[in-house]
Structure 1
Amino acid sequence: MVAIRKSNEEGHRRKFLVVVDETPECDRAIVYAAKRAARTGGIVTLLYVVVPGDFQHWLGVEDIMRAEAMEKADQTLAKASDRARSVARTEPECVVREGKTSEAIVDLIETDADIAILVLAAGLSSEGPGPLVSSIAGKAAGNFPIPVTIVPGNLDDDSIAALA
């Protein structure tokens, strides 16, 4: 069951969810979400998903790898937050989840009723728009709990600002 969105109720603000990774197109999604949030009085929620490693059989290695992954998540989110602030003077909220990316996205949407829109950016490679865009815009699109905005990866900041 999908949680009812509360972003239009009094005391709630619409949240634009961006999945942060280290792809070049991720910046396009951050810029769009920040501009849109600033224009509509919303909030940018930046999600970084740590994919767990399979190192349970090595004593201590799993803890070290998890700590390194969390440190990388914090650094990546700090950089993404700086970018959101610089383009729209908006203060994003940051969330780190562990698990499969698609499951972490849906779980966060279901637990935070203010998240109203998922913002993704399409990659420019010849292999397609990227695995996340392909999975969400593909077979899962009909069952996704909220609208998805897909920003073309080739748009510059001015073009994004005009659309947001």
Structure 2
Amino acid sequence: MTLTYRKRRSFEPGHVRKFLLIVDESPEVESALYYAAARVVRSSGTILMLYVIEPQDFQHWAGVKQVQIEEETLKARALFRLLRRKLHLVGFENIVCEELIREGVKADEIMGAIAEDEDVSILVLGASTDPKGPGPLVSMIAAGSVAGAFPIPITVVPGNLAFEDIIALA
């Protein structure tokens, strides 16, 4: 997949700095969410929450594929609501969050979302505390084919940090 990246905006009129958060059911998403929210408070902007519906093996059955997409879309919306509630519970009521659901290979869809939105400035990821490694998303971005050519800065938030530590570091 060849993508043409738009020039990143910074201080132009109408620019809204966006912190890209990849949403899934992993516990480390919360660390990334709180860090992004604290950065938004300090530097203004919004959080762009991206959920990627990845293709399944049974794609040759159109009806099954459609059901899977509908179920994943409902799950994504529920996760978005849950994360917004968590922000409200810790005092980030005024954070603006945008929601984006895309279908495809996760790495491609992340890169596509960045390429299509020139306001996306930073990708915020949470690292897993699992001894097996930092998690599939961090591993993919840090050691995958996009590692050296990523178009925006990446912030990886350690999953073992307490909420207060995350806020202090942001």
Give the TM-score category using the shorter length.
over 0.9
> Do 1:122 and 1:133's aligned partners in 2 also have CA atoms closer than 8 Å?
yes
Aligned residues: 164
Query: Equivalent residue of 2:56, what SS?
Result: coil
The TM-score, its normalising length taken from structure 2, stands at 0.90
> Do 1:84 and 1:91's aligned partners in 2 also have CA atoms closer than 8 Å?
no
Q: What residue in structure 2 maps to residue 16 of structure 1?
A: 19
Q: How does 1:3-152 map to 2 (within 5 A)?
A: 3-58=6-61, 60-87=63-90, 88-89=92-93, 90-139=95-144, 140-152=146-158
Query: Which amino acid counterpart does residue 15 of structure 2 have in structure 1?
Result: H
Whole-angstrom CA distance in 1 between matches of 2:34 and 2:102: 22
CA shift, 1:117, in A, is: 0.2
Bigger shift: residues 3-12 or 39-48: 3-12
Whole-angstrom CA distance in 2 between matches of 1:10 and 1:48: 29
Whole-angstrom CA distance in 1 between matches of 2:99 and 2:151: 21
Whole-angstrom CA distance in 1 between matches of 2:62 and 2:14: 47
Q: Sequence identity, in percent?
A: 45
Match of 1:154 among 136, 155, 160: 160
RMSD over aligned Cα atoms: 1.4
Bigger shift: residues 85-94 or 123-132: 85-94
> Do 2:126 and 2:157's aligned partners in 1 also have CA atoms closer than 8 Å?
yes
